[in-house]
Chain A
Amino acid sequence: MSDALILYGYDYLFFVYGLAFVFIGAVAVAISRMPSDRAIFRSLALFAFTYGLMVWFEMSAWLLPKGISATLPVVLLEVLAFISLLHLLRSHGSLPLRLHVVFMAGIVGAAALIPRDVVALAPLLLGGAIIVSAFIVVRKIPGARKGSGPAYAMMILGALHFINEEAFLNIAHVPLQTIQVICSVYVLGYMWSLYQERLAATLGVSPGEVHSLSGRWVAPAIAMILLMGYAASNWVQGAEDESQRKSLLTGARIALGGIDYADVASLTGTPRDLTSAEYRRLKQKMITLRAADPSSRFVYLMAYKDGKVFFMVDSEPPSSEDYSPPGQVYPDASDDLTSMFSSGKALVEGPLPDDWGVWVSALTPLKDPETGKVIAVLGTDIDAANWIRDISEHRQFFIAITTVLLILIISIFVHQHRSEISHIRVSASEQRLRKLFDVTYDALVLHDLDGNISNVNGTMLELFGLTREQALRLKLADLFVPESIDRPLNSLLRGAMDGADPVFEGQARRPQDGGVLDVMVAVRSFSDDASDAILTCIHDITKRKQAEAAKSSFLANVSHEIRTPMNAVIGMSDLLLDTKLTREQAEYANVVRASGEHLLFLINDLLDFSKIEAGGMKLDEMEFDLFHLLEETIDLLALQSHKKGIPLVSVIHPETPVMVKGDPGRLRQILLNLGTNAVKFTERGEITITVEPVVTAPMAVAARAQKLLFTVTDTGIGIPEERTDELFTPFSQADAHTRSLYGGWGLGLSIAKRLTEMMGGRIGARRRPEGGSVFWFDAALPKSESALADVFDSTDLAGKRVLIVDSHPVRRRNLESALAQVEVEFDTCEDISRAVDFSSKTGKEPYHAILVDTEAVDEQSHNLIHRLRSSFSGRQTRLIAMVMLGESVDPRTLEAAGYSTWITRPVKRAQLYNALGADDPERKYEDEIGGAEQVAAPHLRLLLVEDNKTNQLVAVRHLEKLGYEVEVADNGPDALDALATREFSAVLLDCQMPGMDGFEVSEAVRDPGSRVLNHQIPIIAMTAHSADDYLDKCLAAGMNDFVSKPIDKQLLPRTLEKWIGAVFDRADLMERLDDDMSLAAQVIEVFISDFRERMALLTEAVKSGDCDTARREAHTIRGAAGNAGAKSVHLLAERFEKACGDPTLSSDDLSHLACEMESQFILFTESSAVTIKSADENERNLSAEAV
């Protein structure tokens, strides 16, 4: 800065300019603390600070002692500012790192190579950088007001670096700093508004709110302080100036005293004076004066003549460049100087810059003592540097004071600003929370322990249709339907206070219109030190409930749609099973049927799941045959596993009860689920299913709630230990990969879990260390109280000896336990060769049978079978093969191998006992189950009326084994309903039933006024009483016959045959016709077609009283009925024939008999229909074969 500028007070402009940049820096720092553009504003702040400091340094250069240059720090600051600008460009992303490095290197290089020029170069470089940065960065800083204004201001600032300030001042008469100050203040204003804007965004409040902060005083305050500082510094400058001038003038006057007036008067003011002694004396005087004051530069005398001021004497030697010879005109003479010659007033001129520097001239008039006329002026030119420094020192003292004041003001402002911002922050977050409270989807209610509502949110008001005032008058209990909540509200609230955090579902009530909403409610303690408060969150789940309802109805529909064809599959396989099938076909058909049922179960899974979810699942509580269920289930699983080539073995602990109480369907479901999973996830090894009683509880408890433990062990892929819990949560499988590999919907295990829990058990899984996993569950399946009449002929087996040949230890154990249960003695061995040893060594009585696992027999040991066989020849030892279920069996091969018969594996107890008990040596491979047994009583439907479930089960089992179709009625009224709607061949009637007993039922059936379709239907009583006591009573009640309980297996079929076989004696017919099906069908068909005609004639004859014709027709019918096996018709015809000759009988009696004959005929047509149908099929097959 040029010295002279200080004299004009321009240093103050510098101060303001620098201050503006320091402020810009401060604001940039504040902005850089906000989330966006941090790096840019940090660089900007650095630049602004360094730039401001640089300006201030330049300003303060005056204060430095002489000889110390401010150039170096200024240049350093300039370079720093430059670098920060580069950094700014880089942070903005417009300057790549590589270019950045090149720039830096260039600067350092330039500084090293041409050090002198850097001083001049630095401001220019900086100016250029400012322009570029402003162009690239500032213009694009996002903000409400466009950044282009400030960018241009910055560009102007940059451009000013290229302009010589003095030249500018001379031309524009305005100091350059004015423009700088205006521009920088403009930029500062922009930055401030940018800050406010971003602050508002950060706080999440409107910009207006930030604008309205109480910091508005600060700008005027700063302006005021600046003005005051300016005034003060100007005032001190004036004062200093005055005193400086005074002391100069004093000095000048003293010097003037030493000058001889006469000498001066003698000078002419022309070069002629050079030679005069006076001139020389005066010259000497001037030189002396100048030498006396080191700061004085020139001492001279000037005179005025003809309007011109000219030099008379000066202190310079003639050799000096600055030497002014006498008479030389002083061209720069000011008006003050000129007028001095007339006014005679001393003055200090300056400081004036001229060609030699800045000078202060003390001008004192030398007056003619007589006239007082000014004849010359003594001038002393003094270097103004010190003078200016003195002034500057005084000014800058005030500037410093101003700065201190500003700092004070700013500190106050910053403090205030900060506290206000934090206030805004708090209130904004409070507002947001309040808003959150209001807009959240949950209705929130704040209340005390008594339910007095103290605050609610907007959602609550909306949900319940209340105004705030209304809501605050209510109690919490007013909002709910009390019955819909399973616990009293009070206890829930107390629970919440104790930290229980209860959550429940229920129904809320809108107090105004009584509308009901499904809600989910969470109650939380909201207490603080001051008060006990509870926050209740009410979540509207009405829509969800509706959706759930829609979902379940959808599921119900879908499952219904799927069930319809499934029923066809199952029904048809049922029918298939009624036809003549080979054992193999029957096994397969059984599996089809069982699988169809399983598929239904799967479909039910979906329903079950939603049912369980809705809490609508109820378990059955009935007595059932656990063994039968297990064998059936294991059969299904064995078939699956066998297909994969994995053996499946089951071990049922001997103490496992046969008859238990529980839900067989659900138990089967769980077992099937675990078993199917095991099969699914096992590729090699084997699967073991075990069932055993849990022996933990004391005996008394165990008898009541007996628990059974079921485990399914596999050698499959296993499950990670930490995921075992996850397995039982819905829709999750071990991992996505497994899912894609094995399919499935992941519902099974979660259903199994819920089901076991409902059965009073637990379910779990663990990893087996040797690979694979163990799934287990236990369930309370108490042993049934009522003893089951044994379905199997086990008594025959007791004491018999059996040899087991099975390679698999678990299967062996299983067989052993099955045999032990019926008291069969047994020996076991692993393979057939040992068996031979066994049989030859043993000295005991021969084995009744030898059970041979076909897996234990290979090609080589086939001859061993023969040896085995031959070693027992002549004795009654039977070889029974155990063949894997689903394996195709060639009976001839087995027969050739010496086996008497075969059973399927996994071994079912019933099958095993039957095979062992079958003494009939003829019962071999050609046995046609189904065919042989079931067609014997083709589709005769019986109605079983029995209230006891176990008895029902037993009777049904027996009857079904005999090939009857059984419908069960639990009580008398149900039975009458069934008889009123459907045809049955006979009724098996329990005499003791609660409510309507058997006798009443029978009477109702026989009553012609009842709705029953067939009043003559055979009724067979079932009672635990002995026949002697009861038979009469039964017959009196209209019953036909009587069987005692427990049911006698021999007697029951005979009794039934007596009454039911009476309709269609198929066995007799087939025997007579030598099993010629087509002939039988033909015979039946002819009888049926003929009967109606004959019957019409007979009825006609009865009406007309034509006994002979009637008898003849009855005779014909009798014969035909006899031929066709229509036993009851035959007998009735016979009775009719006799009745015709009996004069005691009226025609009414005859027509009654005729009616009965007709109804029996109808029964016959139904019974014989199957025979005709199967004959037709046979025919078709034959003709197809023939073709």
Chain B
Amino acid sequence: MRTLVIEDDFTCRLILQSFVNSRGQVDVAATGGEGVVTFERALQKGKNYDLILLDLGLPGLDGHSVLSKIRELEEAAGTPDARRAKVVITTSHSDRRHVERALELCDAYLVKPLSKRQVHDQLISLGLIEAPGAM
């Protein structure tokens, strides 16, 4: 599983990275722009990300813009639905309205602070990882 973490806050990056780095390669981007570039490069190489953990409150290019850019790039590349990246929005706003806008394009959202169990449960429900013990 290849994961891209787009997160401006160092701590959050650290936490998210540590949550998923046992599951495969994790790349990180500190800004929205960086995230889009990283994603595009990977797409060109054919090394698609399975999971993108995206902070909504990014400075500059915000999370919503990044999300729509990503989806545009995938569209342009003609990526099949199954191979499209699962995008999980992370946000410190518990207010649902805040994320509603992104909900169409993303697969799930998590409210900060994040817990490992929370993240894992989400990944399981997205079918990215297997539930432990579920044979």
Which residues of A approach B to under 8 Å, CB–CB? 1068, 1071-1074, 1076, 1079, 1082-1083, 1086-1087, 1090, 1115-1116, 1118-1120, 1122-1125
Contact = CB atoms under 8 A, between A and B. Distances in A.
Contacts of A1086: 10-11, 14
B9 interface: yes
Contacts of B92: 1115, 1118-1119, 1122
Given A1072-B114, A1116-B9, 8 more contacts: A1074-B115, A1074-B117, A1082-B14, A1083-B11, A1090-B11, A1115-B57, A1118-B92, A1122-B113
Interface in B4-18: 9-12, 14-15, 18
A1125 B15 CA distance: 13
B53 to A, nearest CB: 14
Given A1072-B115, A1118-B92, A1122-B113, A1079 B14 contact: yes
A1123 B118 contact: no
A1093 to B, nearest CB: 12
A1086 B13 CA distance: 11
A1125 B114 CA distance: 11
B18 to A, nearest CB: 5
A1124 B11 contact: yes
Contacts of A1120: 9, 11
Contacts of B10: 1086, 1090
A1071 B14 contact: no
B112 interface: yes
A1073 B11 contact: no
User: Which of B113, B114, B118 is the most central at the interface, judged by chain A CB atoms within 10 Å of its CB?
Assistant: B113
A1120 B11 CA distance: 7
Given A1115-B57, A1115-B92, A1122 B9 contact: no
Interface string B93-132: 0000000000000000000111111100000000000000
Given A1079-B18, A1083-B15, A1072 B9 contact: no
B134 to A, nearest CB: 18
Contacts of A1122: 92, 112-113
Contacts of A1079: 14-15, 18
B56 to A, nearest CB: 11
14 contacts: A1068-B113, A1072-B15, A1072-B113, A1072-B114, A1072-B116, A1073-B18, A1079-B14, A1079-B15, A1079-B18, A1082-B14, A1086-B11, A1087-B11, A1119-B9, A1119-B112
Given A1090-B10, A1116-B9, A1118-B92, A1123 B15 contact: yes
A1083 B118 CA distance: 18
Contact of A1073 (B9, B12, B15, B112): B15
A1074 B116 contact: yes
Nearest to A1071: B115
Contacts of B113: 1068, 1072, 1119, 1122-1123, 1125
A1123 B112 contact: yes
Nearest to A1072: B115
B118 A1072 contact: yes
B18 A1123 contact: no
Contacts of A1076: 18, 116
Contacts of A1125: 113
B6 to A, nearest CB: 15
Nearest to A1118: B92
A495 to B, nearest CB: 84
Nearest to A1070: B115
Contact of A1123 (B12, B19, B57): B12
User: Which of B11, B12, B57, B117 is the most central at the interface, judged by chain A CB atoms within 10 Å of its CB?
Assistant: B11
Contacts of A1119: 9, 11-12, 57, 92, 112-113
A1068 B116 CA distance: 11
A1072 B116 CA distance: 5
B54 to A, nearest CB: 15
Interface in B59-103: 92
The 10 lowest CB-CB distance pairs between A and B, nearest first, are: A1072-B115, A1074-B116, A1122-B113, A1123-B11, A1119-B92, A1086-B11, A1123-B113, A1079-B18, A1120-B11, A1083-B11
A317 to B, nearest CB: 176
Nearest to B120: A1074
B88 to A, nearest CB: 16
A1073 B14 contact: no
Nearest to B9: A1119
Nearest to B90: A1119
Contacts of A1082: 14
Nearest to B118: A1072
B57 A1083 contact: no
A1022 B11 CA distance: 40
Interface string B4-36: 000001111011001100000000000000000
A1119 B114 CA distance: 10
A1090 B117 CA distance: 26
A1079 B12 CA distance: 11
Nearest to A1073: B116
A1118 B12 CA distance: 12
A1083 B114 CA distance: 12
A396 to B, nearest CB: 147
A213 B118 CA distance: 126
B14 A1083 contact: yes
B117 to A, nearest CB: 7
